[in-house]
A and B are shown apart, each in its own frame.
Chain A
Amino acid sequence: MLLAGAVAIFALVMVLLLLAFRARGPEDSAENPAENPAENPAEDPAEDPRHERRWIIGLGLVFPFAVLSALLAYGLTVGERLLPRPAPDLVTVEAEARQWAWRFAYPGLPGRETEGVLHIPAGRPVDVRITTIDVIHSFWVPRLAGKLDAIPGHVNVLRMEADAPGNYAGVSAEFSGAGYGNHRFTVTAHDAAGWSAFVAGSAP
């Protein structure tokens, strides 16, 4: 939808630009650059206010304001909906980043830790508590949620939910030095049975 809107606006501007180059009457003299602009008969400063109203106020003010307020309202509403609010079936997990690997812990399951693979239940909201032990990294599973940085000394909480069981690729999305390119992890979303098995300690 954003793309369609952008393409439409771009097309509008380009059309206006092209039309601005339209052929004019017999006063055209495109080949004579050294003529004195003060003698320019097509120049009529009295016409400017009319042009101003149309171009600057109509197109320059009213049009952008209308589009931008709609876009902003939409964006803020969506942003609100993505926030980690309390939920009855919420699962909390922890993701600790370092150069250049990921370690995951499960607060409900003391002592359980996994390297490189994060286990979550499918179909339930999950809060990921993101931390780092060295430089800034970022937790990003493109198919499940936006990204959220791991900042030293801070715990950032990302809400995500996998609609279906499966494996989802994750990467760190903050440049962190020589090993950044391969700083990846996987999220495995289990169905209800698989999650129970994992919690019990027997799932891979």
Chain B
Amino acid sequence: MTDILRLFGPLVLWLASFSAIYGLHGAICAQGWDRSLLVMAWGIAVAVQAAPLLLLSTERFGARAGFVRRASLALAIVSLVAVIWTLAPAAFLSACV
């Protein structure tokens, strides 16, 4: 069952970061906070998303079986790409129009 967590975990982490930053955007626009908060949050999300990739490559936390090991690492990379790609607008677009 831990293998299932290894496979789905990284992307679920992306979903959590994505939802949090979407919510943060709502708060920033409603409360008038500075948009640099969003860029910082994006940076943190990217850093956090590197964690599953690093952990899954280790002996202790990574899967033993070859298939699950490769698949979980691939999914960890997918999640990292997703965090970078889907939240990039935080840095490039107008904040609250």
Contacts and interface: CB of A to CB of B under 8 A. Distances in A.
Interface of A: 76, 80, 83-85
Nearest to A73: B92
Contacts of B92: 76
Interface in B78-97: 89, 92-94, 97
Nearest to B89: A76
Q: Is the interface of B mostly helix, strand, loop or mixed?
A: loop
B89 A85 contact: no
A85 B93 contact: no
A76 B97 contact: no
Nearest to B81: A65
A145 B89 CA distance: 23
Nearest to B86: A72
Contacts of A76: 89, 92-93
B89 A83 contact: no
A149 B92 CA distance: 26
A85 B93 CA distance: 13
Contacts of A84: 97
Contacts of A85: 97
Contacts of A80: 93-94
Contacts of B89: 76
8 contacts: A76-B89, A76-B92, A76-B93, A80-B94, A83-B94, A83-B97, A84-B97, A85-B97
B41 to A, nearest CB: 19
Interface in B32-66: none
Contacts of A83: 94, 97
A71 B93 CA distance: 16
Nearest to A79: B93
Contacts of B93: 76, 80
